[in-house]
Amino acid sequence: MAIVVISKSPPVLVKPSSDPATSATFDHFSLISLTSYDEPNVGRPVTAFLVFECPIDDPAETIRRGLSLALVPYYPISGRLTNFALAYDVFTAIHCSTMEDAGVPFVAASADAALRDVDLRSHLEELAVFYPADGDPLMRPLLLVQVTVFSCGGFVVGVTWDQAIADGAGMSQFLQAVGELARGMPSPTVVPFRHDLALAGMPLAIQRVDRLINSLQPSLLTLVHASVPYSLVTRIKHEFAAVYSGQPCTVFEAVTALLWRCRTRAVMSESDPSSPALLGFVADTRRHAGAKHGFYGNCCFLAPPVAATSGAVAEGDINDVVKMIQHAKDRIPSLYSASSTTDYDEDGRRLQELADTGKLGYCNMLGVSCWRNLGMEKADFGGGTPARVMGYMKEGMGRLPSCVCLPSVDGDESFSVMALCVKEEHAAAFLIELATFN
């Protein structure tokens, strides 16, 4: 691969192109209170990269213009987080009124090599703007954007955002709107909503799980990029259907079962086969929570962990592992039902007991999220949709070992996985397990 030099311009602050109050979607809130879905995500950065191989005219200026136009209906994204007092409590909100420093920092960059000659995974830290590691999430930008143009005319759009403003589906919706406006459409196809009084609150059981995970001792994790062949996923799906009388198995279920099994096998040397193995996966609950069409705030959470023993996951039938994941997915709607409170309270008590006895941590917990159907792969700034969507996870201390399934690429014969789920001493074993699964 070629050596590449990436040059960056100083950041400019992109503001809404006109007064948001004139927008049909302006809801007259200068302060938008964070919901129970937003609050756990304050200060949690997410970075995604959209890789475009087809050139367009002046990518940086085209996207900067589209961004400025999109910030009119999506005006909260140009705001800042702030605290406000109400009675005897202090709450966090999005401050949306006009401020001198409101807006989105935008960096135009260039690379002196062609996309096809560059291993982008080695340059991700140069292809986006990041928040300071020790920065205060209050009053800092909620979104950072960088557009890097390569010598071939292809370009990479790197976006980093504070997850308090939007989940992955919400940010995908916003990026699609930026693309539509950059292409000359008069308004976004989807009317955005950030303030939704009808939204059901995050279930208390989920809030307890989130607090529990945040209380765990972090482990030093190493980043691993893995591929899961289509042929293997297809085989798991077909075998599952044969065992369960034609019942379907989704790609997500097959890939998640495989990751859980292989990761558990890789770390088994540090755990007993009878020890617990727990899997949590991120679920988008817009439909269950009653979110309006176009709502782009947070409406996802880590579902209550699927519980098994390490031995059952590592050595049992993969079809049984898939079935456990399906059962957990089927339970999600009932989280919003008062009648299910007792069941989930019992789940919470078991988790707390494991944590209290030191049986919850690196060896037996895995979180999986999926970007395959979020919509980032549909963003189009004028030259078509991205050839690839990539993510960034910084190596270091993490409380929940995690894997992210990335969108597939047309013509590719595998699913890409970004994994921050193993310590360095287990990374090779994890990749070997994936490569030799049978």
**Which residues, 6 or more positions from 175, have their beta carbon under 8 angstroms from its beta carbon?**
50, 157, 159, 375, 376, 379
- What pLDDT was estimated at residue 434? 94
pLDDT at position 345: 67
Q: How many residues does the chain have?
A: 438
pLDDT attached to residue 340:
56
- pLDDT score at 208: 85
Does domain 204-374+383-435 fall under CATH 3.40.50.12780? My reply is no
Q: Where are the alpha helices (DSSP H) in 244-284?
A: 251-267
Whether the pLDDT of residue 344 is over 80: the answer is no
Mean pLDDT, residues 403-429 taken together: 87
Is the CB of residue 337 less than 8 Å from the CB of residue 259? no
User: For a pLDDT cut of 90, what percent of the chain falls above it?
Assistant: 71
| Side-chain-side CA neighbours of residue 368 (13 Å) | 23
417: left (phi over 0), alpha (psi -120 to 50) or beta: beta
The ranges assigned to domains in the chain are 6-182, 204-374+383-435
Distance CA 386, CA 368 (A): 23
pLDDT at 96: 87
| Alpha-carbon distances of 97 from 18, 22, 53, 80, 260, rounded to whole Å | 13, 13, 38, 9, 45
Reported as a single tens digit per residue, the pLDDT across 14-64 is 999 988 777 767 666 688 999 999 999 999 999 999 999 999 999 999 999
Closest CA to 226 of 53, 402, 51, 410: 402
Inter-residue contact 166 to 77 (CB < 8 Å): yes
Given its phi and psi angles, is residue 10 left (phi above 0), alpha (psi -120 to 50 degrees) or beta?
Answer: beta
Alpha-carbon distance of 135 to 43, in angstroms, equals 9
The mean per-residue pLDDT over the stretch 301-330 comes to 94
Q: For 232-285, write each residue's pLDDT tens digit.
A: 999 999 999 999 999 999 999 999 999 999 999 999 865 678 889 999 999 999
* Residues in CB range of 296: below 8 A, 6 or more apart: 74, 166, 169, 170, 171, 173, 174, 192, 193, 194
Q: Is the pLDDT of residue 422 over 80?
A: yes
- Sorted by sequence, the CB contacts under 8 Å of residue 40 that are 6+ apart come out as 207, 210, 214
More confident of the two residues 345 and 334:
334
Query: What Cα–Cα distance (Å) separates residue 86 from each residue in 19, 90, 147?
Result: 28, 6, 40
Asked whether the predicted pLDDT for residue 397 surpasses 90, the reply is no
* pLDDT given at position 28: 64
pLDDT (tens digit, 9 = 90+) per residue, 50-105?
999 999 999 999 999 999 999 999 999 999 999 887 777 888 999 987 667 789 99
Helix (H/G/I), strand (E/B), else coil: 425: helix
CATH topology of domain 6-182: Chloramphenicol Acetyltransferase (3.30.559)
Please check the confidence at residue 160 and state whether its pLDDT lies above 90. yes
Q: Residue 335: pLDDT above 60?
A: yes
Weakest mean pLDDT among 180-194, 371-385, 398-412: 398-412
pLDDT at 315: 93
